[in-house]
C-alpha cells in the first residue's frame, strides 16, 4: 500500500509526480488539507529504462520543449527534463512529424523499454507538460504496488494497419 507518511509537503507546485519503475506507472498527487501530496489525481502507464536504466531518487523538473531530439536519432513530443538527460517525453517518432509515431515502441508502453527516459502516450505527457510547472518534484522508485489507481491499461496499435503511424487516444480522459 501507499506510504503517505513519506509524502512531501507543499513545495509551491500543484502536483507531485511518482514514477514506479517496476510497474511502469506514473501517479500524480495533489495537496491534501494538511499541505501534503497525498491525494491521487491521475495514473498513467509509461515505459521506463531497460535493465532499470531510469535512475531512482527525487528530482525537480526543469526545462521543457514541444519536440526534442532523442538518443537513437528519434524525436519525442513534450519533452520535460527530470534530471540530466532523463526526460518525460512521448513515445518516439521517426521524424518531427505527428504522423510518424514508432508504433512498435508505443506497443511497449507498460514495460521497461526506453534508454532511461520515462515514455508516455502523447495525451499523458502533454498533461504533465501543461499542468506541472518547472520545479515539480518527481520521485522515481521501485515497488510491486502499482499505486492507488492500479496500472492503467493500454489500447495497443495494430502495426499492420495502414494508419498505424497515427494514434488518437480512444479511451475517455480521466
Choice among 11, 46, 65, 117 that is catalytic: 117
Could you tell me the CA-to-CA distances from 49 to 5, 17, 54, 153 in Å, in that order?
Answer: 28, 17, 5, 19
Residue 132: active-site member:
no
CB count in 10 Å sphere of residue 66: 11
Choice among 11, 46, 65, 89 that is catalytic: 89
- At 164, list the grid cell: 498505424
Residue 89: active-site member:
yes
Query: Strand, coil or helix: what is 50?
Result: helix
Alpha-carbon distance 18 to 173, whole Å? 20
Question: Annotated catalytic sites, by residue?
Answer: 89, 117
Amino acid at each position: 500500500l501507499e506510504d503517505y507518511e513519506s509524502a512531501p509537503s507543499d513545495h509551491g507546485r500543484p502536483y507531485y509526480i511518482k514514477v514506479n519503475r517496476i510497474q511502469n506507472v506514473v501517479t500524480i498527487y495533489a495537496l491534501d488539507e494538511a499541505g501534503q501530496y497525498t491525494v491521487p489525481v491521475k495514473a498513467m502507464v509509461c515505459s521506463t529504462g531497460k535493465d532499470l536504466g531510469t535512475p531512482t531518487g527525487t528530482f525537480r523538473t526543469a526545462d521543457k520543449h514541444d519536440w526534442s531530439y532523442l538518443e537513437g536519432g528519434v524525436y519525442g513530443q513534450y519533452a520535460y527534463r527530470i534530471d540530466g538527460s532523463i526526460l518525460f517525453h512521448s513515445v518516439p517518432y521517426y521524424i518531427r512529424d505527428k504522423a510518424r509515431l514508432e508504433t512498435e515502441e508505443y506497443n511497449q508502453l507498460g514495460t521497461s523499454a526506453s534508454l532511461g527516459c520515462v515514455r508516455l502516450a502523447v495525451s499523458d505527457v502533454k498533461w504533465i507538460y501543461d499542468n506541472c510547472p518547472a520545479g515539480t518534484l518527481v520521485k522515481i522508485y521501485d515497488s510491486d504496488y502499482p499505486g492507488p489507481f492500479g496500472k492503467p491499461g493500454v489500447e495497443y496499435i495494430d502495426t499492420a494497419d495502414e494508419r498505424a503511424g497515427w494514434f488518437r487516444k480512444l479511451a475517455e480522459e480521466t
